[in-house]
Structure 1
Amino acid sequence: MSTHTDMKRLTRLSAILLQLQTRRLINANDLAEKFVVSVRTIYRDIRVLEQIGVPIASFEGKGYSLAEGYKIPPIMFTEQEANALITAQQLINLNKDSSLIDTYKEAVDKVKAVLNYSTKDKVELLSKRVAVSPASMEQPTSNSLATIQNALTSFSVLRIHYKAEGKNESSARLIEPFAFYYSMQQHWTLIAFCRLRNDFRMFRLDRIEAVYSTDLKFATHQLSLQEYLQEKEKNFTSPDKQLS
């Protein structure tokens, strides 16, 4: 086997490890398609990883998963990957939710911490050479995105105070976060099941005056985001008018 072939396989093995680390379950067909190899090649790669001590659990007909509790050492970012994150930070700063801006900055700081010294210097230089138009910079109008994201992924009911357009007072509602939608008007909109209306509704984050966590849980909704959006295209109603 040539040195070039060996390097390609080592690169693929590392990439498969990354996929196993970032996804709970992945099947051989998906891996074969991603790396443009045969399924048989993926089988051989998995056996190699098992032989070097990586505890991979196999689920017949479903795929592979890393054994519970197994941790892979941090994977170094390439210079191009770090540059992409630094550039994207300027776009994130245009976002109107301050919690997303703060969380992304913390994530980028952690990325910088694992870079080697030469890459750190290059990333620092790039961060000083990327800017956005001052006319685009506006004060964030919400700070609840991070809290709602956590509730969505943990299936936790939230209590919110929402003030629809044209209303003098806000209304209190119990909601089950379902998905997020970013509109062309540069507003984050939360799609959630409203227990008061007993139906899905859209809530603009900049109109949520307060959000509170609760101990209530809800079951996973069977509706997909794509199905919801297709239905809304047929009969579109603005977030504010939905609650009138």
Structure 2
Amino acid sequence: MNKTDRLLAIVLELQRKKVVRAEDLAILFEISVRTIYRDVQALSEAGVPIIGATGTGYSLMEGYFLPPVSFTVEEAVTLLIGTDFIEQRFDSDYRVKAQAARGKIEAILPESVRNETSRVRKAMRLLPSDKPITPSKEREYLEKIRRAILDERKISFRYIKRLVDSEENRHSFRTVAPYGLVLVQGSWMLVAHCDLRQDIRHFRLSRISALIDLEDRFELPAHFNLREYTPQDDRHMQVSLRFNQDMADKVKEANYTYMEDMEEQQDGLYVVLRVRQLDESLQWVLSWGADVMVLEPESFRNRIREEAEKMLKRY
């Protein structure tokens, strides 16, 4: 990064944060603290109102705002593709905001950059996964939950969970403090503190119904950070499989959630799954028909055999 770009980046960093230490700027731009001192002096001499406080850091004078900066073609394409993604996967409110943002971005681009950006975007397309775009009911809940998170209000809903070793579902009513929303492989997941379990739990929005906003308030714990949050991994069971060699590419492309390891050998593709419960992978394994063989555990081999016998009787 040359000096001109670095000076601009420093101003943007100061504009983004209230106070920034010289040491932190030095680490961010991979330069010495002494160089940061010289850069800040150069910005001050150029008329940028930077305030420095010993032992605290640098900040911009209140009210100062850097005028809009220009985007490169690559930066513009990145932002516009981002609006496409939000329009596909977020709720109606953000979908409208994404459309408005796209219009504003395109409006401020110089004609040459706008034309080149349009040309690049015609060669790129953001397609949804094989799963359907977020259903309308799920979009509605997504918006309600998002607002409840920002307002720090609790919500309640009915939750459906498939019972292991059963074709029935279990329905339960939950009251939770919503901490955040996570998009996992095309499916929205709510991370929340459940009053019933007295702990953090994860809820698929596709399994939620009868959602109600409550007046009860909650306070997000100071130690909780969604970006740093890592759920406890309780997948302690392994399933070993062997796929026919001609299925290897399709299995790799499937990118199955529970896939832990794979290795190609002469007699096929060996895959290891790591799951919480064996039935979690039952439907996926059955979907490959005779192109896969369960090697272990024996109990899962028997489970597959039982399902195959049921299918044979049906036909």
What TM-score do you get using the length of structure 1 for normalisation? 0.72
Correspondence list, 1:100-179, <5 A:
101-132=95-126, 136=130, 138-141=132-135, 142-143=138-139, 144-145=141-142, 148-149=145-146, 151-152=148-149, 154=150, 156-166=152-162, 171=173, 173-177=175-179, 179=180
SS of aligned partner of 2:98: helix
Question: Where does residue 25 of structure 2 map in the other structure?
Answer: 31
Q: Is the 8 A contact 1:26 1:64 kept in 2?
A: yes
Question: Where does residue 183 of structure 1 map in the other structure?
Answer: 184
Please list every run of 5 or more consecutive structure 2 residues that lacks an aligned counterpart in the other structure: 163-168, 237-275, 278-315
SS of aligned partner of 1:201: strand
Amino acid at match of 1:198: Q
Of the two, which has the highest radius of gyration?
2
SS of aligned partner of 1:104: helix
Please list every run of 5 or more consecutive structure 1 residues that lacks an aligned counterpart in the other structure: 1-6, 239-244
Counterpart CA distance in 2 for 1:148 and 1:59 is 41
Counterpart CA distance in 2 for 1:226 and 1:25 is 22
Correspondence list, 1:1-16, <5 A:
8-16=2-10
Question: Where does residue 232 of structure 1 map in the other structure?
Answer: 232
Higher relative contact order, structure no. (Cα contacts within 8 Å, ≥ 6 residues apart) = 1
SS of aligned partner of 1:165: strand
Q: 1:82 to 1:62 in 2, by over 3 A?
A: same
Q: 1:190 to 1:133 in 2, by over 3 A?
A: closer
Q: Is the 8 A contact 2:176 2:194 kept in 1?
A: yes
Amino acid at match of 2:173: S
Deviation at 1:88, TM superposition (A): 4.2
SS of aligned partner of 2:202: strand
Q: Equivalent pairs: percent with the same residue?
A: 32
Question: Where does residue 192 of structure 2 map in the other structure?
Answer: 192
Deviation at 1:94, TM superposition (A): 5.5
Counterpart CA distance in 2 for 1:216 and 1:195 is 13
Bigger proportion of residues as strand:
2
What per-residue deviation string (whole Å, max 9, x for no partner) do you get for residues 45-85 of structure 1? 12232333433343544433333443221222221100222
Deviation at 1:169, TM superposition (A): 5.7
Counterpart CA distance in 1 for 2:50 and 2:195 is 42
Counterpart CA distance in 2 for 1:132 and 1:227 is 27
Counterpart CA distance in 2 for 1:72 and 1:182 is 33
Amino acid at match of 2:69: I
| Pick aligned residue for 1:45 from 39, 47, 50 | 39
Question: Where does residue 310 of structure 2 map in the other structure?
Answer: none
Q: Is the 8 A contact 2:90 2:142 kept in 1?
A: no
Counterpart CA distance in 2 for 1:227 and 1:34 is 20
